[in-house]
């Protein structure tokens, strides 16, 4: 038996290990830096186990990732690596990281790593059982097998991003519901094989869900929303963009069951009407973000109810809500003092009078940061005058606002010198030449 082995065996039996419980030693180790912790891991077998436990580790961020990957790609390492990720090496690199970091790894983003597949993530799941946040956004090789591995080995998982992993099906959601009960945020945007059955299995076993991103899940219908509304009382964020089959019926059950809702995106859901705005106003007073672009059936009546009840609204995307008029802006200016971002692009009935009310409302002086007015043909330079006292205004969009002039923009900038103005002015056709018998053509013409 070697001398070092004898010394390790004797230290395992030392008084400190007998007097102090493992939980207390583990707590002490949680305050150590990386180098000291590694030294402690070499003292004895028992300390090696405790030092490499990882349950109380601190967070560290990779400082160098070559080949264009962002520096914040990997978080919560107990050590820093310098490694290339390219082509077919990505899977092997992920496996090596998981073997080195083990229980220390809490957060990992593999966003866009096309070379990572189910095999590498199975090894990762087996080694990194304390993982809490995992992004696999755009890892198109992975299938339901990866979610089975996460379910089996990673019970502490809270945030999972599977956006654009198009091979994911209901089987993945059922697996996650069985093994990851602490799940708080799930992104399965563009996983268009998911149906109501997968949603039902997920929400019944993960009552702590706070964020669901279902953008582009085109098979989802109102029944899926009824399951969410019935089992997710903690829900704060819900994205249903382009889920074109949903209607007021399903969304009303969300409003009635999810009173803590703060962010809702239903842009591109053309079937919804003012009924959903009434339901939000009556049930979701904490609403801060509402995106309803291209929902052309919404009117001033619905937005009036919403504004009068949801005073914490900060961001609203009303692009192509073609029926709204200045009446909506009047209500927002009166009742929504925290409004920061407002998109009114293609709302062709909006006039300078609506902008006047907005510019004199409670949100104007300190809150309003962005206003988008693209393709609002009735807007003139007078609107810019109404906005000159919005001292927090950072950006204004004015594409295809034919009655806006360069002079109006220049006057606005005298009051708001740092504002970003995005506008387009068609080139002026030169006037025809005077005199001479030869026919003239402007430079933009082509003589065939």
Q: Per-residue DSSP letters for 23-65?
A: HHHHHHHTTS-HHHHHHHHTT-HHHHHHHT--TTPPP-B-S--
The strand ranges marked E within 141-255 are: 159-161, 185-187, 211-213, 237-239
208 or 62, which is more confident? 208
Return the H-helix or E-strand segment holding 354.
Answer: helix 352-360
Q: Could you tell me if residue 355 is inside a domain?
A: no
pLDDT band at residue 95 using 50, 70 and 90 as cut-offs: confident
Kindly state the tokens that stand for 205: 């076993």
Query: Percent of the chain beyond pLDDT 70?
Result: 82
CA-to-CA separations, 38 to 78, 217, 352, in angstroms, rounded: 10, 46, 67
CATH number at residue 51: 1.20.1280
pLDDT of the residue at 402 = 93
Q: Could you tell me if residue 23 is inside a domain?
A: yes
Q: State residue 280 phi and psi, 5-degree precision.
A: -65, -45
9 DSSP assignment: H
CA 429 to CA 332: how far, in whole Å? 41
Kindly state the tokens that stand for 117: 């597949």
Of the listed ranges 88-92, 175-179, 422-426, the one predicted with least confidence: 88-92
Kindly state the tokens that stand for 155: 């019970």
187 or 448, which is more confident? 187
Tokens 């004797």 belong to 10
Nearest CA to 364 among 386, 345, 349, 343?
A: 386
pLDDT of the residue at 97 = 80
Of the listed ranges 84-93, 255-264, 320-329, 352-361, the one predicted with least confidence: 84-93
Mean pLDDT along residues 17-37: 76
Nearest CA to 235 among 269, 185, 285?
A: 185
Mean pLDDT along residues 391-415: 96
pLDDT band at residue 41 using 50, 70 and 90 as cut-offs: confident
52 or 114, which is more confident? 114
pLDDT of the residue at 444 = 45
| pLDDT beyond 90 at 414 | yes
Note the pLDDT tens digit of each residue in 113-132. Answer: 888 999 999 999 999 999 99
**Sequence-distant (≥ 6) Cβ neighbours of residue 139 within 8 angstroms:** 110, 111, 112, 113, 114, 116, 117, 165
CA 159 to CA 172: how far, in whole Å? 15
Return the H-helix or E-strand segment holding 262.
Answer: none
pLDDT band at residue 76 using 50, 70 and 90 as cut-offs: very low
Q: Could you tell me if residue 162 is inside a domain?
A: no
Mean pLDDT along residues 25-32: 79
Mean pLDDT of the chain: 86
Contact 124, 151 (CB under 8 A): no
Nearest CA to 340 among 321, 375, 366, 359?
A: 366
pLDDT of the residue at 36 = 76
pLDDT band at residue 72 using 50, 70 and 90 as cut-offs: very low
Note the pLDDT tens digit of each residue in 269-304. Answer: 999 999 999 999 999 999 999 999 999 999 999 999
- Residues in the chain, overall count: 448
pLDDT of the residue at 431 = 54
Mean pLDDT along residues 204-214: 97
Q: Could you tell me if residue 334 is inside a domain?
A: no
pLDDT of the residue at 59 = 42
Q: State residue 238 phi and psi, 5-degree precision.
A: -140, 125
394 or 107, which is more confident? 394
Count of structural domains within the chain:
1
Q: Could you tell me if residue 183 is inside a domain?
A: no
Contact 376, 402 (CB under 8 A): no
CA 227 to CA 32: how far, in whole Å? 46
Nearest CA to 379 among 362, 360, 356?
A: 356
Kindly state the tokens that stand for 405: 């002039």
Q: Could you tell me if residue 396 is inside a domain?
A: no
Q: Could you tell me if residue 34 is inside a domain?
A: yes
Q: Could you tell me if residue 45 is inside a domain?
A: yes
Contact 236, 262 (CB under 8 A): yes
| pLDDT beyond 60 at 75 | no
Of the listed ranges 1-10, 49-58, 257-266, the one predicted with least confidence: 1-10
**Structural domain boundaries, residue 43:** 12-58
Q: Indicate left, alpha or beta for 328 from its phi (over 0: left) and psi (-120 to 50: alpha).
A: alpha
CA Rg value for the chain: 29
| pLDDT beyond 60 at 338 | yes
pLDDT of the residue at 430 = 55
Contact 277, 304 (CB under 8 A): no
Note the pLDDT tens digit of each residue in 426-435. Answer: 665 555 555 4
pLDDT of the residue at 79 = 33
């Amino acid at each position: 038996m070697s001398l070092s082995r004898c010394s390790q065996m004797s230290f395992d039996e030392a008084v400190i290990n007998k007097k102090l419980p493992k939980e207390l030693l583990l707590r002490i180790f949680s305050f150590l830096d990386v180098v000291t912790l590694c030294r402690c891991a070499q003292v004895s077998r028992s300390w090696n186990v405790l030092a490499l436990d990882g349950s109380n580790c601190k967070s560290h961020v990779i400082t160098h990732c070559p080949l264009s990957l962002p520096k914040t790609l990997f978080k919560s390492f107990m050590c820093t690596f310098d490694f290339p990720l390219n082509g077919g090496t990505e899977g092997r690199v992920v496996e090596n990281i998981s073997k080195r970091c083990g229980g220390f790894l809490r957060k990992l983003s593999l966003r866009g790593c096309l070379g990572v597949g189910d095999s590498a993530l199975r090894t990762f799941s087996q080694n990194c059982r304390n993982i809490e946040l995992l992004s696999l956004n755009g890892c198109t090789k992975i299938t339901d097998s990866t979610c089975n591995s996460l379910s089996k080995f990673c019970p502490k998982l809270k945030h999972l991003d599977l956006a654009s992993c198009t091979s994911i099906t209901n089987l993945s959601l059922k697996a996650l519901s069985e093994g990851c009960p602490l799940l708080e945020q799930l992104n399965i945007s563009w996983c268009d094989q998911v149906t109501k059955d997968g949603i039902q299995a997920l929400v019944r076993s993960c009552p702590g869900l706070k964020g669901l991103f279902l953008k582009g899940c085109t098979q989802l219908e109102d029944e899926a929303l009824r399951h969410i509304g019935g089992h997710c009382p903690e829900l704060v964020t819900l994205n249903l963009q382009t889920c074109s089959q949903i209607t007021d019926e399903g969304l009303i059950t969300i409003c009635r069951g999810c009173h803590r809702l703060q962010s809702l995106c239903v842009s591109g859901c053309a079937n919804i009407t003012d009924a959903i705005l009434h339901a939000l106003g009556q049930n979701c007073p904490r609403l801060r973000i509402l995106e309803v672009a291209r929902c052309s059936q919404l009117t001033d009546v619905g937005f009036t109810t919403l504004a009068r009840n949801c005073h914490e609204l900060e961001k609203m995307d009303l692009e192509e809500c073609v029926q709204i008029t200045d009446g909506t802006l009047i209500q927002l200016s009166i009742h929504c003092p925290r409004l920061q971002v407002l998109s009114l692009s293609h709302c062709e009935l909006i006039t300078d009078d609506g902008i006047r009310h907005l510019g004199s409302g409670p949100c104007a002086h300190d809150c309003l940061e962005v206003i988008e007015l693209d393709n609002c043909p009735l807007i003139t330079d007078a609107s810019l005058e109404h906005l000159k006292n919005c001292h927090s205004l950072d950006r204004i969009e004015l594409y295809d606002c034919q009655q806006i002039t360069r002079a109006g923009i220049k006057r606005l900038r005298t009051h708001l010198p740092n504002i970003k103005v995005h506008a387009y002015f068609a080139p002026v056709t030169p006037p025809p030449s005077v005199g001479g018998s030869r026919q003239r053509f402007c430079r933009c013409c082509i003589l065939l």
